[in-house]
Amino acid sequence: MAIRNIRVMGDDILRKTSKPVKKITERTKIMIDDMFETMYETQGVGLAAPQIGVLKRIVVIDVGEGPYVFINPVITEKSGEQTGEEGCLSIPNKVAEVTRPNHVVCEALNEEMKPFTVEAEGLFARAICHECDHLDGILYPDVANGPLMDLAEEEEEQEQEEQE
């Protein structure tokens, strides 16, 4: 396993549409392992293949409900609404408020190319929407309710408020 370089906003590859996976090769399996390692190392809850420079429809997610690999994911149902701060490993130290469905159903293939369906709520649903957007070249500032905010500055402001 290896840590891969994460592409950051401004890199053209993040704006491209990823291609469906037709078969799983040994190389793809290694890439998926690397995606998990890279995600855990950087304390992310999700990572999409284009973020490591590979235009394949593969995402990994772990929001604390176990590791999931989604190959060729399709969101088939969306309902409800949640609004909260969202970040991205490709946009370091920034956050913005994004409204997403609170509940999604996602159909995908697993590492054995077997179809499965996941029903997700809350953060898991948010992560699925965010990562699937990456596969179509969409980054969260495109769908955010407001501007990007600096994570560090926001924490400083909170500290000042606490002192007062």
Can you tell me the distance from the alpha carbon of 87 to that of 89, in angstroms, rounded to the nearest whole number?
A: 7
Cβ contacts of residue 154 below 8 Å, gap of 6+?
A: 95
Catalytic, out of 86, 131, 154, 161 = 131
Can you tell me the distance from the alpha carbon of 99 to that of 28, in angstroms, rounded to the nearest whole number?
A: 32
Q: Does 127 bind Zn ion (CB under 5 A)?
A: no
Tokens found for residue 62: 């772990």
Cβ contacts of residue 161 below 8 Å, gap of 6+?
A: none
Nearer to Zn ion, 109 or 126 (CB): 126
What is the nearest approach in angstroms of Zn ion to the Cβ of residue 20? 20
In the block, residue with structure tokens 């590492």: 111
131 tagged catalytic: yes
Nearer to Zn ion, 69 or 88 (CB): 88
Q: Does 88 bind Zn ion (CB under 5 A)?
A: yes
Nearer to Zn ion, 88 or 123 (CB): 88
**Span near Zn ion by CB under 5 A; candidates 2-10, 20-28, 31-39, 82-90:** 82-90
Tokens found for residue 22: 């037709």
The catalytic site residues sit at 131
Binding region for Zn ion (CB under 5 A): 88
